[in-house]
Amino acid sequence: MNKTLRKWIPAGLALSSLLAVTACSNDSTNEANAEEGSSWLEEANLDANETPDELYELAKEEGKVVVYSQSSRIKDVKASFEKEYPGIQVDAFDLGTIEIVEKVAREQEAGLNTADVVFVKDGGGVVSGELLSEGMLHKYAPDDIVEKLDETFLDEPGLPFYFSTRAIFMNNEVYDESTITNWWDLTDEEWKSKIVMDDPLLSSDTLDLFTTIVQNADDMEAAYEEKFGNAIELDGTDNAGYEFIKQLLANDPVFVSSGDDVVEAVGTPGQEKPPVGITTSSKSRHIEEQGYTAEFLYDVEPKMSVAGTSYLYMANNAEHTAAAKLLIRWMAGEADGQGEGFRPYNVPGSWSTRTDVSVEGQRPSSDLSLWPYDGEYLYDHSNDVRNFILANQ
């Protein structure tokens, strides 16, 4: 065990024993947290607009910052941050979305404040539904970065930082782009048993796409009419969104357990009639490396897909606030968008939420037609959609 760990264990111990003494039940622990939270909030001053230099001065005294990250690329951020700001160590935990939610919730309930920065997607709305609503995470969004954000990302619970999306992938060696122009094309006989996708029962991102389709049933209805020329007739379903899911499932899509399998199925060269796929656009990073011939489609009616946004949050009662602010700024690319911290995420298949940063060779985010990500709606409705899929599979 090394020194840094030793340093924060006593702190955690002291705080937690204090809580154990003062609090008898879970409820009172939460209250204690809330009260403490408010004084911490005042001190942390998340609305202030310190410059990086000011923050660095303060952060040097803190000496470290702990980040819970959903992406393993955080190790590149750690390297560049520690080089730029010597004297501040980044402790990066690499976890999945569900693990982050579980860990943060349990730690905060126990009065431990291990995390400073949390970098996570809102998969299924669980982050907004279970962490934000309990005051366990806060938004830190300095003005000089917010003013660069695309306006669709202004009203968000954390600092939106980049997004990818569940897109339709097609083999561009065999098909041309006009083959699929509408989500309803996937319900055609032509694609029976020829759609490969991450299992929506197991991938919450895929389920988010379906739930968003249900949320935007009106769009789906219009798209149906555009394709078939007549109004949709619902076959025992509530709306055009559910109807789409039902017909898609009736077309026997093939479920696999990872996005890599999807791009492999779609993009392996030399296939006579390759399937189409649905998976995250960020897989396009590997397509060239692996020698696949596939690309995702931009122009699909009614929308390309839903934005799967990754957020940066400040954890409640964070012990290293200045360093945390500095790290959030660093990852968001700093005021000018040139910051090294964003580079690991500025890759094909992902889009910055900022208007001044883009990846060469792919459409700018302003040209994408996407449904917004509605964490609250997803949190309340994804169970219904998942049960619908179960019942109709």
Partner 1 sequence: MIQISRYHSRSRLLNKLIRIFTNPVHVISALALIFLVYMVAFPIGQILLETFQEDGRGGAASGGLTAANWVNVLSGSISQPLFYKPLFHSLSIGLTVSILSFLLGGGLAWLVMRTDFRYKKSMTMLAILPYMLPSWVMAFAWMSVFKNDRIGGGQGLFYSVFQISPPDRLAYGFLPIVLTMTLNYFTFFFLLLSVALGAVNASLEESARILGASSARTIRKITLPLLIPAISSGFILTFSKALGSFSVPAFLGLPTKYYTIATMLHSSIQNRMIQEAYVLCIVLLMVCALLIFFNQKAIGKRRSFATITGKDSRKHLYSLKKWHRPITWTVLGFMGAVSALPLIVLTLQTFMMSNSQFSLDQFTLHFWIGESNPAIASGEVGVLKNDALFSAIGNSLKIAFIAASIAALMGLLFGYIVSKRRNRLDGRAIEQLSYLPYLIPGIAFSAIYLSMFATPSWFMPSLYGTITLIILICVVNELPIATRSGASTMHQIGGELEEAAYVQGANWGRRFTRIMLPLSKKTLFTMFLLLFISVIKELDLIILLITPENGTLPTLMFKYAESGFQQYANALMLIIVGIILITYFIASKIGKIDFTKGIGG
Query: Which residues between 95 and 154 bind partner 1 (CB under 8 A)?
Result: 95-96, 98-99, 101-103, 106-107, 109-112, 114, 124, 126, 129-130
Q: Is 19 in the site for partner 1 (CB under 8 A)?
A: yes
CA–chain centroid gap for 91, Å, is 21
163: left (phi over 0), alpha (psi -120 to 50) or beta: beta
Q: Is 231 in the site for partner 1 (CB under 8 A)?
A: no
For residues 229 and 273, which CB has a smaller minimum distance to partner 1 in the complex?
Answer: 273
Q: Is 91 in the site for partner 1 (CB under 8 A)?
A: yes
Q: Is 393 in the site for partner 1 (CB under 8 A)?
A: yes
Q: Is 166 in the site for partner 1 (CB under 8 A)?
A: no
Q: Is 30 in the site for partner 1 (CB under 8 A)?
A: no
**CB of residue 99 vs partner 1: minimum separation in angstroms?**
6
Q: How far is CA 115 from CA 19, 40, 350, 378, in A?
A: 18, 14, 26, 26
**CB of residue 57 vs partner 1: minimum separation in angstroms?**
26
Contact 137, 108 (CB under 8 A): no
Q: How far, in Å, CA of 371 to CA of 211, rounded?
A: 11
Got the DSSP string for 147-166? TTB-GGGSS-SSEEEEEEEE
Q: Is 8 in the site for partner 1 (CB under 8 A)?
A: yes
For residues 112 and 149, which CB has a smaller minimum distance to partner 1 in the complex?
Answer: 112
Judged by CB under 8 A, which of 93, 179, 185, 188 binds partner 1? 93
For residues 113 and 365, which CB has a smaller minimum distance to partner 1 in the complex?
Answer: 113
Judged by CB under 8 A, which of 40, 255, 337, 355 binds partner 1? 255
Please state the φ and ψ torsions of residue 389, each to the nearest 5 degrees: -65, -45
Span interacting with partner 1, options 36-44, 147-155, 262-270, 310-318, rule CB under 8 A = 262-270
Q: How far, in Å, CA of 319 to CA of 317, rounded?
A: 6
Applying the rule CB under 8 A, the residues between 298 and 337 that interact with partner 1 are none
